[in-house]
Amino acid sequence: MLPSIATAPGELSSPPARTAGWLGVVRRRQTTANIRASIIEHVKPAPRRWEISEALAIPGQTPVLGRVLASRGLDGAEAAAFLSGGVELLDPFGLEGMADAVVTLGVAVTEGRRIAVYGDYDADGVTACAMLTRALRAGGADVLPYIPTG
C-alpha cells in the first residue's frame, strides 16, 4: 500500500519511516520545477528574421497572392502562366533511381506489402509525407506514414 502524502491541497504530511528517501525526491522535484520556471522566465524567443517584400501586388490578383507572386519576381504574364499551369516541369524519371523506385513500389502494392513513408517534422516534410501517403493509398497500397517526434 502506498503512503498517503497529500493531506490537503498544497500541504504535505510527514512521510512514513520506511519512505525516508521520499523527502529527497520531493526536494529534487521542487528544484527541477524551479529550474524550469527560471529557464522559461529568462529564455526569449529568437528575433524574427522575416523579410517582407515592398513589391506592389500584381494587378488582377488578390492582394496577398499578388504580393507573393510579385515578391518572387513575377510580372503579370509570368504570374498568369504560373497559375494556369503553363510552367514546364521537369521529368521525374530524370532523377537517378526513379525507375527502380517505381518498380519496387509497384511490386509492393501488388504483393500487398506495407510501405513506410518517412517524413520529417517541418512544414514541407509533414506535407510531403501526407501527400505521398494519400497518393499511395489511392493506388491501393498499405501505407504506414511515420514522422519522428524528436
pLDDT tens readout for residues 56-113: 889 888 989 999 899 888 888 888 888 888 777 789 999 999 999 999 999 999 999 9
CB-count burial class (<10 Å; 0-12, 13-18, 19+) for 69: buried
Q: For residue 45, is pLDDT > 90?
A: no
- Does the reported pTM lie above 0.85? no
Sequence spans of domains, the chain: 6-42, 53-89, 92-146
Q: Retrieve residue 107's grid coordinates.
A: 511490386
